[in-house]
């Protein structure tokens, strides 16, 4: 199943579960310690699946505290940034002298080169993304502006970050037929982190600046003209708009739902228009998807269903009654 790595305490006798979990954390993530918060019934599991440069993890388990100490850092084999959230459970994080209470869906950026403490008192329900140091510092040159600070998911860029982050569940990533969107997904996350680092600290959107508005308009003109091209890349749209890839993603996130979401919405709307016309009834659903930029039929069906809440075939049947 793709490059999925999976480990669980399920096959271990209870006395071996906590030591096994600590070893799994060391092997799959970083050197750190886990301390259970209940006397019996400890359990945990972790899965991970890499994209191009970033590495999403999902961990679930019993209530516990996770600690990375100076000693763990000294013994570590590598370092990275980690973008962490819990979709369904509140938790607490402390790093760089900042103690944060995080609600379900809130994110936080952690630097593994500094000690931290995570309190998963309500249970471990973790989605984290390992981000290479050079990758983060390309998007956020002064990453210290984000370290240890809660990024609320209630509105603005924090809400957009939650939406894309919670799509990156390792098992679902491993089951995909195509990895063509990996670069776009990574750039979307980088662009949102860049915008959050420039913001006032509450995850709220900034007003669109005059310098980004014309970039957004040029990018939209390029997307409307070219969205039906399979394999259209953000780099090509950035070249059309006359800006860097980083600036493109900043402008698209500042002016709307972001590059990838905008591209998918344009393609789905065009496909819906074709599916609803009698003159195209002879074309298969897959062919209509291909004509609207979807090279993979399964990907087309997933995206269409996400936007229209029904499959392309069901939409066509309803439209052509």
Residue 203, in any domain of the structure: no
Residue 2 is predicted with a pLDDT of 59
Residue 234 is predicted with a pLDDT of 87
Residue 207 is predicted with a pLDDT of 40
Residue 177 is predicted with a pLDDT of 72
Whether residues 186 and 259 fall in one domain: no
Whether residues 151 and 23 fall in one domain: yes
Residue 250, in any domain of the structure: yes
Q: Provide mean pLDDT across the span 49-72.
A: 96
Residue 253, pLDDT above cutoff 90: no
Which of 137, 170, 198 is the C-terminal boundary of a domain?
198
Residue 157, pLDDT above cutoff 90: no
pLDDT band at 170 (very low <50, low <70, confident <90, very high): very high
Whether residues 131 and 235 fall in one domain: no
pLDDT band at 230 (very low <50, low <70, confident <90, very high): confident
Return the structure tokens found at 48: 């991970």
Total number of domains constituting the chain = 2
Whether residues 158 and 290 fall in one domain: no
> b/e map of 242-276 (b: 16 or more CB within 10 Å)?
ebebebbbbbbbbbbebbbbbbbbbbbebbbebbe
**91/65 Cα distance (integer angstroms):** 10
Range of the domain at 42: 4-198
Residue 132, in any domain of the structure: yes
Whether residues 264 and 137 fall in one domain: no
Return the structure tokens found at 43: 């359990």
Residue 175 is predicted with a pLDDT of 86
pLDDT, tens only, 88-105: 999 999 998 899 999 999
Residue 205, pLDDT above cutoff 80: no
Which residue bears the tokens 């979709």? 87
pLDDT, tens only, 271-308: 999 999 999 999 999 999 999 999 889 989 999 998 99
pTM greater than 0.85 (yes/no)? no
Helices (H), the chain: 14-28, 70-75, 133-139, 156-165, 170-174, 182-198, 213-226, 234-241, 245-255, 259-275, 285-291, 297-308, 312-319
Residue 262, pLDDT above cutoff 50: yes
Residue 207, in any domain of the structure: no
Tell me the three state secondary structure of residue 229. coil
Whether residues 135 and 222 fall in one domain: no
Residue 72, in any domain of the structure: yes
Residue 199 is predicted with a pLDDT of 66
Cβ atoms < 10 Å from Cβ of 40: 7
How far does Cα 136 stand from its chain's mean position?
Answer: 14
Closest Cα partner for 169 from 257, 58, 76, 254? 58
Return the structure tokens found at 236: 């090509």
Q: Provide mean pLDDT across the span 137-141.
A: 90
Return the structure tokens found at 199: 């913001």
The dihedral over CA atoms of 85, 154, 220, 288, expressed in degrees to the nearest 10, equals 70
Residue 208 is predicted with a pLDDT of 43
Whether residues 190 and 263 fall in one domain: no
How far does Cα 99 stand from its chain's mean position?
Answer: 24
Which of 137, 171, 198 is the C-terminal boundary of a domain?
198
pLDDT band at 202 (very low <50, low <70, confident <90, very high): very low
Whether residues 232 and 194 fall in one domain: no
| pLDDT above 90 coverage of the chain, percent | 70
Which of 198, 228, 250 is the C-terminal boundary of a domain?
198
Whether residues 10 and 141 fall in one domain: yes
Whether residues 89 and 156 fall in one domain: yes
Q: 143: Cβ–Cβ under 8 A, 6 or more apart, which residues?
A: 81, 109, 111, 136, 137, 197
59 phi and psi angles, rounded to 5 deg:
-130, 140
Whether residues 48 and 176 fall in one domain: yes
Residue 259, pLDDT above cutoff 90: no
Q: Provide mean pLDDT across the span 172-193.
A: 86
């Amino acid at each position: 199943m793709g490059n999925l790595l999976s480990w669980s305490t399920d096959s271990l006798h209870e006395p071996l579960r906590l030591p096994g979990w600590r070893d799994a954390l060391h092997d799959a993530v970083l050197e750190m310690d886990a301390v259970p918060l209940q006397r019996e019934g400890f359990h945990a599991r972790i899965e991970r699946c890499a994209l191009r440069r970033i590495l999403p993890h999902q961990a679930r388990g019993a209530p516990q505290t996770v600690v990375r100490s100076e000693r763990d850092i000294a013994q570590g084999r590598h370092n990275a940034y980690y973008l962490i959230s819990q979709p369904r459970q509140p938790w607490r994080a402390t790093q760089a002298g900042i103690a944060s209470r995080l609600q379900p869906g809130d994110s936080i950026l952690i630097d593994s080169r500094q000690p931290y403490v995570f309190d998963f008192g309500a249970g471990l329900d973790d989605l984290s993304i390992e981000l290479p140091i050079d990758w983060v510092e390309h998007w956020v040159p002064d990453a210290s502006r984000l370290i240890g600070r809660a990024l609320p998911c209630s509105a603005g860029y924090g809400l957009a970050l939650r939406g894309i982050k919670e799509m990156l569940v390792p098992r679902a990533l491993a089951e995909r037929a195509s990895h063509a969107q990996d670069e776009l997904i990574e750039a979307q996350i980088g662009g949102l982190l860049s915008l959050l680092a420039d913001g006032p600290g509450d995850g709220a959107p900034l007003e669109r600046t005059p310098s980004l508005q014309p970039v957004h308009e040029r990018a939209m003109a390029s997307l409307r003209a070219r969205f039906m091209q399979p394999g259209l890349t953000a780099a090509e749209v950035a070249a059309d708009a006359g800006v860097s890839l980083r600036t493109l993603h900043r402008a698209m996130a500042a002016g709307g739902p972001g590059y990838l979401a905008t591209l998918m919405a344009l393609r789905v709307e065009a496909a819906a228009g074709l599916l609803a016309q009698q003159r195209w009834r002879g074309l298969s659903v897959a062919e209509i998807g291909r004509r609207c930029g979807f090279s993979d039929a399964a990907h087309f069906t997933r995206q269409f269903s996400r936007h229209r809440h029904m499959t392309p075939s069901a939409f066509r049947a309803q439209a052509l009654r």
